[in-house]
């Protein structure tokens, strides 16, 4: 089998790529792979029409599933099920921001379930607004790090308002609750940013799985910051929101600076060696990691270049 591929590579340079990458081998068997700008645009539009609606429905139902649990808490589920102490937080252990948004108007302000639900209505508007803003912004200018940083700013402000405003400043605390909902928008950007800046089949898959795993760990730990002894203000939980959003904003800037500096270093090395913009097929399709492939460029702003 290897001799057949080697002889094919000598006869046709494209076969060298096929030998290095099974996916490219499949595409070559299909003839024209549509690698022109027009072809790539058609593929993207086809994906948008056929896959994104299903993804939207799945994420929407998942979000509703998480939020409904928290709204049930303010509507009286705790009393109905005779939950005591930290039982509710132990059962939740997921989507701690939703719990925070649903719990504070009820426990902190003393409102009943229906009023708390009504007061939380603007939170959904904020989430939708920032999600659309990030989606359109990424399409127009692919500055992933900037959008992660921008969305962390309302989260930091909101966490600060909830944590340090006096309890009788209801308007300010409500504004903080609404602002923290901006932080849900960059999550898909973070997933894509990680995948775009990791090369190599195994490393990219592991990095994506690690991000998803840490997201799950955060969802498990988050509700545990809402301890019954901290009711009704839950200040440690609010401060944890402030701290995590500040860390996210700082980390986005640090990663941007690192990627930018590393790209410039690799550009200088290629220029000095006289191999600038000369990327071998083996480097592009051989499954090398971003550390092994010095032709790889990280994407602090634009799409990655192999």
Task: Walk me through the domains of the chain, giving residue ranges and CATH numbers.
Answer: 1-36 (no CATH), 117-285 (1.20.1250.20)
pLDDT value for 150: 93
pLDDT value for 176: 93
pLDDT tens-digit readout, 225-244: 888 888 888 899 899 989 99
In a 13 Å sphere around the CA of 95, the CA atoms on its Cβ side amount to 18
pLDDT value for 14: 43
| Mean of pLDDT values over 250-277 | 86
pLDDT tens-digit readout, 118-153: 787 888 889 889 988 998 888 887 788 899 999 999
pLDDT value for 11: 44
């Amino acid at each position: 089998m290897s001799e057949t591929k080697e002889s094919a590579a000598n006869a046709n340079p494209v076969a060298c790529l096929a030998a290095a990458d099974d996916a490219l081998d499949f595409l070559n068997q299909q003839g024209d792979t549509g690698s022109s700008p027009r072809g790539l645009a058609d593929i993207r539009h086809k994906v948008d029409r056929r896959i994104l609606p299903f993804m939207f429905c799945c994420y929407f139902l998942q979000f509703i599933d998480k939020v409904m649990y928290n709204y049930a808490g303010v509507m009286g589920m705790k009393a109905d099920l005779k939950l005591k102490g930290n039982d509710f937080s132990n059962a939740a252990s997921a989507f701690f921001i939703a719990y925070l948004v649903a719990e504070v108007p009820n426990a902190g302000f003393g409102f009943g379930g229906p009023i708390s639900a009504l007061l939380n209505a603007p939170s959904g508007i904020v989430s939708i607004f920032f999600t659309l803003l990030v989606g359109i912004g990424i399409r127009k200018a692919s500055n992933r790090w900037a959008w992660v940083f921008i969305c962390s700013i309302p989260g930091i402000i909101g966490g600060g308002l909830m944590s340090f405003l006096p309890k009788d400043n209801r308007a300010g605390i409500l504004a903080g609750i609404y602002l923290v909902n901006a932080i849900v928008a960059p999550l898909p950007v973070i997933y894509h940013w990680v995948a775009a800046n990791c090369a190599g089949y195994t490393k990219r898959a592991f990095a994506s799985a690690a991000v998803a795993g840490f997201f799950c760990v955060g969802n498990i730990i988050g509700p545990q910051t809402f301890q019954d002894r901290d009711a009704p203000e839950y200040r440690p939980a609010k401060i944890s929101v402030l701290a995590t959003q500040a860390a996210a904003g700082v980390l986005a800037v640090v990663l941007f600076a690192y990627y930018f500096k590393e790209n410039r270093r690799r550009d200088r090395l290629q220029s000095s060696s006289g191999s600038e913009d000369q990327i071998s097929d083996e480097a592009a399709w051989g499954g090398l990691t971003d550390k092994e492939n010095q032709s790889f460029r990280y994407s602090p702003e634009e799409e990655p270049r192999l």
